Structure 1
């Protein structure tokens, strides 16, 4: 049976609260005059565009923002096996999240429950341990059942008293459990008598006892699976109807130690995410430091990811480390034996997913409850490596070994951490030359960038590697961000022969544990809600179509003035000094000169840090401060040369020279020694959202003076470093607010006309369906809201609305609302 036959027929992804209204075609003015038209869409239904795979849109899950522990993984107890450590987070101890009434010691000795489960709590008689879980406490619902379990050991018979309570008193009937003998798992079930979000689980002991793996799970998990997923979050993910599931990261994958298990040192803390650590009984899985600053229990491990992918009908796409660290660490591990072990682990992973129950790893899968294969077809090696040649050397070895043993597996490479630049270009060239099947691209840019780059993939080599857009977002959760992403997605669909997979990222965020913004779905311990971006993704993912129908649209007249604005100086996690600032107009006039022989009265401090004139230089002395900007000049300045001498004194990076400064959120700056002092690049900030326009590898040496010059002419900028031209760019791309794409649903023959109008006025549009014979009524779904609108726990201003369009034919006129995304489903007769 094909995958398509198992998926629901394409619908319009409407919520139960959608409003049913009837919309008519825009009528012509009186006296037979033609309606006023702003845009024209022309469709050619006789031709075929790119085929769209079932897997076009998917999900990327990473344990960031407490997305897994404290989120999708439904376990309510935090630090259930007393494994938290200062290696995970400086504020952690082995009893983090536990309150002790009495005497308890966390022990790591030969009496442990399992070699992987290092710590356990040794409690004295009369001691009670209480856990408040995540957020404000345990969230319990009146009448719901909760399954408790604990591994315990006691030499003499002792009784555990198990209690659920909050400040208002008991939340369920107290349970008692007798413990005697060696390690054994004990279970109990609670039924909550009240609803609370501040509950606590208390375990009291009448005698000396050892406790480990203390757990409390809601009975009502996703698909009622014991030890499973939080229902509301999993259902929101499933509602997207994802075509694939990429896991477990992200930066989580290729950071930390790649080391092996050692008999003398045991598991390495901050060990990189390795799939074998995450399978088997949960009490035998080793917890680990998480790159994002907390501990991960691995209760949500590879088996659970595979199972969830199967549950939602998604293609599993695991990512394994390539022994080149990324995400700012930038280190290539040189160890042939370790590399061979990781390659073998990847081969074993494929066997775990697809192998028969008679194979070593297929048997382990079956023992966990899944005798049949998971149908793995793709494996990604590496993630955002910033050392392109070192990464590709290792990737090639993984690829050769995988293709030799499993020729049907697609091995996915990547192009580094950004949408352009030296790493991106080098990796793409290496991937093309080697005939790699698929390359993962990542970028987080401003809404303006997404509006400007709808045609990004139009010019990609049709015979080269396919694109997996594994991570993208427009740096915000307003509807304005969603509009920009939707406009970009029309370009993804138009180029579905190149872009085979695409996933927004990150997907989940616990509002009390945020390391990254924006995020698709937000939650706390009591509720979850989809962002405006979620509604956009859901609309597209539920209404993909099977093939692009060629279409064209007129564009919006646009006039871009020259780059204009004041100038600025800044640092980031660095102390630096600046001298001899000169700004000269193109006609030779001096606009600004400052050698800091006197007070810095021309400069306005708009950021952090500590600035002062010192020894005839303007110095920023706080080595820990970020974005310490000071500005000078007039926002109307244009066509000028900015010259400055800069010297790094100490710190992690270099310094920044700003130009075209309009205000604190809108400017350009040349970031020298940025990204951990690995690159120089120009970034444009649009309302605080940054886009990298040009970048090259480079470092800044402490104590060395650098002569910097920025020449601005119209929208062209040329940059000089120490008297030599470093680079140039022209910022003249148009942020087109009106975008569209047309696809066809093979099952129904319907045309799906998808239109984004990201501007504050309606777009009166003529639609020419090229003579197609269509029904007179069409179904419409509209997302429309103010660009600043954001969904929250208590309000959903961005939600789909259903309507019916009547009186249409192969040509009609429709007014697409201001700031809207509109899907027209038109049935052909």
Structure 2
């Protein structure tokens, strides 16, 4: 998961002659001519485009937004083993999510359940502990069965009374469990007498007892698998028919300590994700501090991931750490023994997935209930490393070891956290020179970026490494975001010979525990719903086709014009001072001049941060505040020079100089010393979503005054730092709202015409099928809504609408609705 971004001739298609007559016959004439745009789509049905693999689209699961515990993993008890810690989250204690009646404490001593499960609850006679579950409580449904289990110890014997209640009363009959002797697992079953989202599970003891691994599981999990998955979430994922399942991350793969659990390390909790921690008996698996700020139990581990992939018919694609951290940590180990151990762990993982039952790790897989191999064919090493050379030298060691023992396994590299920049370019150069089979790209950009970059992969080397687009999204869950992603996906399919795998990210989000948004599927403890982005992914993933049929479409006239906007100053988790701001028009006219010898009345404050004039400088003093943008000038300004002196006073980063400012969500800024003061970039924000246009490594010194100059001419921008040119770009690539791709389903013979119209006007389109003999009827599936539409738990304005269109011919006309994605399945005779 990343934390951070272009010209074509355009012409209007004109409907004439027979095409116009057909349009008049088939379509109503809109009342307002400006609400219609005319296009053409020409399909070369006699040509063969690239084959589209069955694994083209998949899903990426990361334990972010509580996607595992409290999410896909069906366990209903939070902090079931009393292992929560301030190392996981500053607000946590071992009794987080538990309330105590009487006397109970969490103990970590030699009487523990095992060496990986170190904490347990010690209850005095007459005491109880009550668990509040996730979200509003423990969810139960009337008539459904729930399996309770607990590991307990009571040397003198004790009876546990287990109840399931909410504020209104009992939710199921009480269960009694007799405990005697050392640690033993005890079980009971509840049948819910009514439905509740606010249940509480209580375990009371009549005598002194110790408890660990207190669990409540719905009997009905996805495909009724033990230690299984929450059914509604798993079914929504399965409905996508994913070709692959990438797991378990993401940033949590290659962040944290690389050391082992041990007494010497204080049983280190912030440990990088390692697959061996997550297999074997559930009670013997470790818990860990999740990178995203909470505890992860590893109840959902590598065995369950492999099993889920098999259950949904997806290729398993695990990601292992490369001993170079990413996601802002930027460390590389020089511990040779540790590197060798992780390489061996990767070989052991392949044995766990594919090895015979007579092997060590294949034997463990069989003991866990799956003697058959999982047929692992791909494995990724690393995730979003910002140190490309350090990463690649270690990647080569992993790849060589895997290929020596398993030459049939594809080992996937990556290109860092962004779609462009120095890290990206260096990583790709190393991957090409190293003959890598596949490279994992990640990027999160604005909808405009996706509309502008449909041709991104058109120019990629067809003989070079293939692309795994492992993470992408357009920074929002509104319909405008999903439309931009849909338009971009037509380019992915057109380049299916280069882009072999692609997955939107993140997959899941619990609405009450969000670290990252947007997300594909949202949920709480009782319901789940697909975002509008999910609906786009589902439409594409279930209508892929087997081969691209070459096609062309006309484009939308571009209004053009110079880059316009006011100017601005900002900070991000940093205190900075600004002075001597001037904006001069190209003809020498002074548009703005401020040396802050008086007040700052020319500047408009966004409300974030603490701005004030101090000693003749404009100073932002709040080190915690992010995006403290203040602006000055006219949004209509164009062709100007912006000059300013900037000084970092303290904090994590540098400073940000904005230009082309239309409002607080739409602007450009030069981000100097961003990403924890490791790189600088020019970013473009459109409606709050940002894309990176230029990126270079670099940091900003505290206390040093920098001279900054930005020249805007037309749509070209040149940036100077202390009198030296730092970079330049021309922002004149249009954001094309009308995109198409055509594929063929060889099983059915269907042509699948896929059209995205991401604009508020109807797209009246003349479609030429190139002489193909086709049925006169097409099955049409449409997604359409207002640009701001969002799917929620109670309202889904974006859902598939199916219809039949009876006007198909070799040449015909169709009106694509405003803000729509339309798939037409046309039967070739």
> What TM-score results when the alignment is normalised by the length of structure 1?
0.96
User: Hey, what's the Cα distance between the residues in 2 that align with 1:668 and 1:585?
Assistant: 18
Instruction: Please state how far the C-alpha of 1:29 moved relative to its aligned partner.
Output: 3.5
Structure 2 equivalent of residue 290 of structure 1: 290
Structure 2 equivalent of residue 482 of structure 1: 482
1:186-242, CA deviations, whole angstroms, 9 ceiling, x for partnerless residues? 000000111110000000000111100000001111011122000000000000000
Structure 2 equivalent of residue 12 of structure 1: none
Instruction: Please state how far the C-alpha of 1:597 moved relative to its aligned partner.
Output: 1.1
Structure 1 equivalent of residue 512 of structure 2: 512
What aligned pairs does 1:585-624 form with structure 2 within 5 A after superposition?
585-624=585-624
- Equivalent residues of 1:648, 1:654 under 8 A apart: yes
- Equivalent residues of 1:511, 1:524 under 8 A apart: yes
User: Hey, what's the Cα distance between the residues in 1 that align with 2:292 and 2:674?
Assistant: 21
- Equivalent residues of 2:27, 2:815 under 8 A apart: no
Structure 2 counterpart SS, 1:91:
coil
User: Hey, what's the Cα distance between the residues in 1 that align with 2:94 and 2:288?
Assistant: 13
Structure 2 equivalent of residue 91 of structure 1: 91
1:427-449, CA deviations, whole angstroms, 9 ceiling, x for partnerless residues? 00000000000000000000010
- Seen in structure 2, the aligned counterparts of structure 1 residues 608 and 325 have a Cα distance that, compared at 3 Å, is same
Structure 2 equivalent of residue 128 of structure 1: 128
Structure 2 counterpart SS, 1:827:
strand
Structure 2 equivalent of residue 525 of structure 1: 525
User: Hey, what's the Cα distance between the residues in 2 that align with 1:523 and 1:570?
Assistant: 35
1:704-729, CA deviations, whole angstroms, 9 ceiling, x for partnerless residues? 11110000001000000011000000
What aligned pairs does 1:494-643 form with structure 2 within 5 A after superposition?
494-643=494-643
Structure 2 equivalent of residue 239 of structure 1: 239
User: Hey, what's the Cα distance between the residues in 2 that align with 1:28 and 1:184?
Assistant: 75
After the TM superposition, which segments of 4 or more aligned residues of structure 1 sit over 4 Å from their partners?
A: 24-28, 30-37
Tell me, yes or no, if structure 1 residue 710 matches structure 2 residue 710: yes
- Equivalent residues of 1:25, 1:806 under 8 A apart: no
What aligned pairs does 1:10-89 form with structure 2 within 5 A after superposition?
27-29=22-24, 38-89=38-89
Tell me, yes or no, if structure 1 residue 749 matches structure 2 residue 749: yes
1:488-518, CA deviations, whole angstroms, 9 ceiling, x for partnerless residues? 0000000000000000000100000000000
Tell me, yes or no, if structure 1 residue 274 matches structure 2 residue 268: no
Instruction: Please state how far the C-alpha of 1:262 moved relative to its aligned partner.
Output: 2.4
What aligned pairs does 1:402-421 form with structure 2 within 5 A after superposition?
402-421=402-421
Structure 1 equivalent of residue 330 of structure 2: 330
- Equivalent residues of 1:25, 1:814 under 8 A apart: no
1:251-300, CA deviations, whole angstroms, 9 ceiling, x for partnerless residues? 01000001023244463211010000000010000100000000000000
- Equivalent residues of 2:778, 2:824 under 8 A apart: yes
User: Hey, what's the Cα distance between the residues in 1 that align with 2:822 and 2:38?
Assistant: 16
User: Hey, what's the Cα distance between the residues in 2 that align with 1:637 and 1:471?
Assistant: 37
Tell me, yes or no, if structure 1 residue 112 matches structure 2 residue 112: yes
Instruction: Please state how far the C-alpha of 1:333 moved relative to its aligned partner.
Output: 1.6
Structure 2 equivalent of residue 226 of structure 1: 226
User: Hey, what's the Cα distance between the residues in 2 that align with 1:29 and 1:783?
Assistant: 24
- With 206-215 and 627-636 compared, the bigger mean Cα shift is at 627-636
User: Hey, what's the Cα distance between the residues in 2 that align with 1:483 and 1:269?
Assistant: 41
- Equivalent residues of 2:26, 2:813 under 8 A apart: no
Structure 2 equivalent of residue 146 of structure 1: 146
Structure 1 equivalent of residue 16 of structure 2: none
What aligned pairs does 1:728-807 form with structure 2 within 5 A after superposition?
728-807=728-807
- Equivalent residues of 1:146, 1:218 under 8 A apart: yes
Structure 1 equivalent of residue 256 of structure 2: 256
1:341-374, CA deviations, whole angstroms, 9 ceiling, x for partnerless residues? 0000000000000000011110010000000100
- Equivalent residues of 2:545, 2:745 under 8 A apart: yes
User: Hey, what's the Cα distance between the residues in 1 that align with 2:759 and 2:643?
Assistant: 38
- Seen in structure 2, the aligned counterparts of structure 1 residues 25 and 404 have a Cα distance that, compared at 3 Å, is farther
User: Hey, what's the Cα distance between the residues in 1 that align with 2:205 and 2:378?
Assistant: 50
Structure 1 equivalent of residue 438 of structure 2: 438
Structure 1 equivalent of residue 673 of structure 2: 673
- Seen in structure 2, the aligned counterparts of structure 1 residues 636 and 363 have a Cα distance that, compared at 3 Å, is same
- Equivalent residues of 1:25, 1:812 under 8 A apart: no
Structure 2 counterpart SS, 1:259:
coil
Instruction: Please state how far the C-alpha of 1:636 moved relative to its aligned partner.
Output: 1.1
Instruction: Please state how far the C-alpha of 1:616 moved relative to its aligned partner.
Output: 1.2
- Equivalent residues of 1:576, 1:650 under 8 A apart: yes
- Seen in structure 2, the aligned counterparts of structure 1 residues 296 and 640 have a Cα distance that, compared at 3 Å, is same
Structure 2 equivalent of residue 682 of structure 1: 682
1:739-798, CA deviations, whole angstroms, 9 ceiling, x for partnerless residues? 000000010111000000111111111111111111111111011111111110001100
- Equivalent residues of 1:242, 1:541 under 8 A apart: yes
Cα root mean square deviation, aligned: 1.6
- Equivalent residues of 1:607, 1:627 under 8 A apart: no
- Seen in structure 2, the aligned counterparts of structure 1 residues 709 and 209 have a Cα distance that, compared at 3 Å, is same
User: Hey, what's the Cα distance between the residues in 2 that align with 1:403 and 1:722?
Assistant: 50
Structure 2 equivalent of residue 17 of structure 1: none
- Equivalent residues of 2:26, 2:807 under 8 A apart: no
User: Hey, what's the Cα distance between the residues in 1 that align with 2:194 and 2:297?
Assistant: 29
Structure 1 counterpart SS, 2:366:
helix
Structure 2 equivalent of residue 13 of structure 1: none
Instruction: Please state how far the C-alpha of 1:807 moved relative to its aligned partner.
Output: 3.1
User: Hey, what's the Cα distance between the residues in 2 that align with 1:333 and 1:559?
Assistant: 52
Instruction: Please state how far the C-alpha of 1:157 moved relative to its aligned partner.
Output: 1.4
Unmatched 5+ stretches in structure 1? 1-23
Instruction: Please state how far the C-alpha of 1:27 moved relative to its aligned partner.
Output: 4.4
- Equivalent residues of 2:37, 2:761 under 8 A apart: no
Structure 2 equivalent of residue 7 of structure 1: none
1:375-425, CA deviations, whole angstroms, 9 ceiling, x for partnerless residues? 001110000001111111111111111111111110000000000010000
User: Hey, what's the Cα distance between the residues in 1 that align with 2:623 and 2:29?
Assistant: 65
Tell me, yes or no, if structure 1 residue 691 matches structure 2 residue 691: yes
Structure 1 counterpart SS, 2:428:
helix
Structure 2 equivalent of residue 455 of structure 1: 455
Instruction: Please state how far the C-alpha of 1:37 moved relative to its aligned partner.
Output: 7.7
Instruction: Please state how far the C-alpha of 1:129 moved relative to its aligned partner.
Output: 0.2
User: Hey, what's the Cα distance between the residues in 2 that align with 1:351 and 1:175?
Assistant: 42
1:168-197, CA deviations, whole angstroms, 9 ceiling, x for partnerless residues? 011100000110000000000000111110
User: Hey, what's the Cα distance between the residues in 1 that align with 2:29 and 2:821?
Assistant: 25
Structure 2 equivalent of residue 189 of structure 1: 189
User: Hey, what's the Cα distance between the residues in 1 that align with 2:147 and 2:403?
Assistant: 44
Instruction: Please state how far the C-alpha of 1:105 moved relative to its aligned partner.
Output: 1.2
Structure 1 equivalent of residue 170 of structure 2: 170
User: Hey, what's the Cα distance between the residues in 2 that align with 1:460 and 1:672?
Assistant: 30
Instruction: Please state how far the C-alpha of 1:131 moved relative to its aligned partner.
Output: 0.2
User: Hey, what's the Cα distance between the residues in 1 that align with 2:49 and 2:27?
Assistant: 37
Structure 2 counterpart SS, 1:38:
strand
User: Hey, what's the Cα distance between the residues in 1 that align with 2:267 and 2:537?
Assistant: 40
- Equivalent residues of 1:278, 1:299 under 8 A apart: yes
Structure 1 counterpart SS, 2:503:
strand
- With 468-477 and 326-335 compared, the bigger mean Cα shift is at 326-335
1:129-159, CA deviations, whole angstroms, 9 ceiling, x for partnerless residues? 0001000101110111000000000011110
- Equivalent residues of 1:139, 1:196 under 8 A apart: yes
Structure 1 equivalent of residue 12 of structure 2: none
- Seen in structure 2, the aligned counterparts of structure 1 residues 793 and 248 have a Cα distance that, compared at 3 Å, is same
Structure 2 equivalent of residue 664 of structure 1: 664
Instruction: Please state how far the C-alpha of 1:607 moved relative to its aligned partner.
Output: 4.0
1:117-136, CA deviations, whole angstroms, 9 ceiling, x for partnerless residues? 01101110111100010001
Structure 2 counterpart SS, 1:41:
strand
What aligned pairs does 1:293-308 form with structure 2 within 5 A after superposition?
293-308=293-308
